[in-house]
């Protein structure tokens, strides 16, 4: 079976994608390929970051690999926090602080439209491919739900009445940005196995 490395240290994400690729590709972790260093992601776009991580692994370790990067883009804030979503309220990368700051910055906003966007870059046999997943929705005025992570408690996807934090993992994956991007990646790999 062909091997493919997912350039992430997030074990939850790796397990999720591993299940989707079962039987087609053997998913390798960064540890499996002997990569123990922190992967840099200091570009100014989601695409730049996913490419930076995947290109690093391909160039240094010569294994087929992919990487992802996600951001929350709020219309009234000109697309912020976007690529800075994880450290919106500071380098401590606290979900609670990030949510508080976002709710504060939207206090007077009537337009609460937002979207999550995931960029995936794949290096397969030296060829570079890009995939994107988007989910549109809006930001609530208060926290609701305790599942998930990040901005889940304040994001309600379009055509739904509950936040991501009120949904099961399966329910969220079926409509989420990351789920959509990963399904595109899996579809591509099915046709290029
Ligand atoms: P990453 O690129 O997946 O590490 O995501 C960067 C940041 O975006 C995270 O630290 C979260 O703040 C936010 N984020 C990414 N995906 C999600 C999600 O599915 N729900 C809520 N927040 C998310």
**Identified catalytic residue from 42, 68, 69, 125:** 69
Q: Cis bond leading into 29, ω under 30°?
A: no
Q: What is the pLDDT of residue 79?
A: 98
Q: Which atom of ligand 1 is nearest to the CA of 176?
A: 19
Q: For ligand 1, say whether the CB of 119 is within 6 Å of any of its atoms.
A: no
pLDDT beyond 90 at 36? yes
Substitution candidate for ligand 1 out of 85, 115, 165 with most atoms within 8 A of CB: 85
- Please say if the pLDDT value at position 193 is more than 80: no
Does ligand 1 come within 6 angstroms of the Cβ of 69? Answer: yes
CATH number of the domain residue 173 falls in: 3.90.950.10
If one residue of 151, 165, 169 were mutated to test the ligand 1 pocket, choosing by the most ligand atoms within 8 A of its CB, it would be 151
Q: According to the model, what pLDDT value does residue 190 have?
A: 85
CA distance 123 to 38: 19
Residue 28 to residue 16: CA distance in whole angstroms: 13
> What's the CA-to-centroid distance between 86 and ligand 1, angstroms?
7
> Taking the CB of residue 133, how many other CB atoms lie within 10 A of it?
21
In this predicted structure, which of 69-83, 89-103, 109-123, 173-187 has the lowest mean pLDDT? 173-187
Among residues of the chain, what percentage have pLDDT more than 70? 99
Q: Model pTM greater than 0.85?
A: yes
- The response to whether residue 150 sits with its C-beta less than 6 Å from ligand 1 reads yes
Q: Which residue has the tokens 């972790």?
A: 29
Lowest mean pLDDT across 23-32, 96-105, 132-141:
23-32
Full residue range of the structural domain in which residue 60 is found: 2-192
- Quote the percentage of the chain above a pLDDT of 90: 84
Least confident of 78-82, 122-126, 141-145, 187-191: 187-191
Out of 72-81, 106-115, 178-187, least confident range: 178-187
Question: With a 6 A CB cut-off, is 73 part of the ligand 1 pocket?
Answer: no
- How far away, in angstroms, is 27 Cα from ligand 1 center? 22
The set of residues, in sequence order, having a beta carbon less than 8 Å from that of 104 and lying 6+ positions away, is none
pLDDT at 125: 93
For residue 12, pLDDT beyond 80:
no
Neighbours of 103 (CB within 10 A): 15
Q: Is 95 a catalytic residue?
A: no
1-5, 21-25, 132-136, 137-141: lowest mean pLDDT where?
Answer: 21-25
- Tell me how many domains the chain contains: 1
pLDDT tens across 41-98, in order? 999 999 999 999 999 999 999 999 999 999 999 999 999 999 999 999 999 999 999 9
């Amino acid at each position: 079976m062909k091997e493919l490395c997912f350039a992430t240290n997030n074990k939850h994400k790796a397990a999720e994608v591993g299940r989707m690729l079962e039987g087609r590709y053997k998913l390798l972790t960064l540890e499996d390929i002997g990569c123990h260093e922190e992967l840099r992601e200091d570009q100014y776009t989601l695409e730049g970051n996913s490419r930076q991580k995947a290109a690093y692994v391909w160039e240094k370790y010569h294994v087929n690999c992919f990487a992802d990067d996600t951001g929350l883009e709020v219309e009234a804030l000109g697309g912020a926090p976007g690529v800075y979503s994880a450290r919106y309220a500071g380098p401590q990368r606290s979900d609670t602080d990030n949510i508080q700051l976002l709710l504060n910055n939207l206090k007077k906003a009537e337009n609460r439209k937002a979207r999550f966007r995931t960029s995936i870059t794949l290096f397969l046999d030296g060829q570079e491919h890009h995939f994107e997943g988007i989910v549109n929705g809006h930001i609530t005025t208060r926290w609701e739900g305790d599942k998930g992570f990040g901005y889940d408690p304040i994001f309600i996807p379009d055509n739904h009445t509950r936040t991501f934090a009120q949904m099961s993992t399966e329910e969220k994956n079926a409509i989420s940005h990351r789920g959509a991007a990963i399904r595109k990646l899996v579809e591509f790999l099915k046709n290029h196995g």
